[in-house]
Amino acid sequence: MKSYFEAAQLITPRGVVEHARVVIEDGRFAQVGTRADLEFPAAAQVNDLGESILAPGFIDIHIHGSGGHDVMEATPQGLLTVERALARHGVTSYLATTVTAPIAQTLEAVEKLGRWVEADQDPAGRAVALGLHLEGPFISHAKRGVHPPAHLQAPSIELFDRMQQAASGRVRLMTVAPEGEGAGAMIAHAVGKGVRVSVGHSDATFRQTRDAIAAGASHATHTFNAMRGLDHREPGILGAVLADEGLSAEIIADGVHVHPEMVKMFVRLKGAERAILVTDAISATGMGDGTFQLGGFQVEVRGDRCEFEGRLAGSVLTLDRAVRNTMKFASVALSSAVRMVSFNPAQLLGIEDRGVIQAGAIADLNVLRPDGEIVRTLHAGR
């Protein structure tokens, strides 16, 4: 069965198409064009969306939970709750993100998450898990944030392989501190297995970070946060991340983790082509103030601040709000901010049939107002 849509505009990686028309069939985009070049059948029941804007479904590559549940619980009910909460904010796919924990607990969680990803390919009314993001345990003690120090690990090919095997090969992204002994070899090994490696939670020097990029690292985790500060004589990891034109980098645009002016600078330096917006959201998202779970510890939430022992511990940001914040903070168009939550994360993960509205792609679709507010979300055309 075919569904027909028309709207004022459609967002592509290259900009905006005016007077857009889209045909969806069997969960994928069948035809994409304009009213001038795409004619609908006379009998077609057209979904006329008026002045709305069509955008690809959002992809969150760094999220720990939502709706009162942490992904490391790895229970069907908990993951269903998280995925439904994500869909309410335009997210149609995501990476379930772990936090450092005892190895046995981590292996148990990634095993359950791997099975969930394998089975979770046709969800209705919720986001779909594309894989796992391991945020830890291969990170720096000096820049660990709230990751428990007792469970941090030195880079280890053997431990990475155990985690990937437990996850049934579903680890898609891994955060690594470049300064760890053996980091380069582990990065090269992981990249050879098809995993994207992100530098982060690190006190690395500029040279150590450049070595990690040479080994295959292609991304940076929550830029500015849990990173050595920028110095004019030793640019450090932050200098390497901001200067490297080939490296994509993510940022938490909630106005708490990073000052709005720094978001503006980040977007100017990385460009709309390499910037990725993430939430780093925890179980508290959408739940109001209180005490909530992040991995194996409790986080206190007051307003937009999530803290553990006085340190920031994730966020309650949603990806649609990150889009609107970035439009405001960085003075960018809606089309540029949308690219940062759709096409760019899909490109990082090597996914060609999500994050873009084009014939053959999965029909993940957001209907937006000009200010970025969500009107409607479709996953695989539903």
Which residues belong to the active site? 280
Per-residue DSSP letter, 267: H
Report the distance separating Cα 14 and Cα 181, nearest Å: 41
Contacts of 346 by beta carbon, 8 Å cutoff, 6+ apart? 59, 352, 354, 355, 356
Please identify which residue in the block is written with the tokens 């269903």. Answer: 80
Please identify which residue in the block is written with the tokens 């053997």. Answer: 158
Cite the beta strand spans of 141-289 per DSSP E.
Answer: 171-176, 196-199, 219-220, 248-251, 275-277
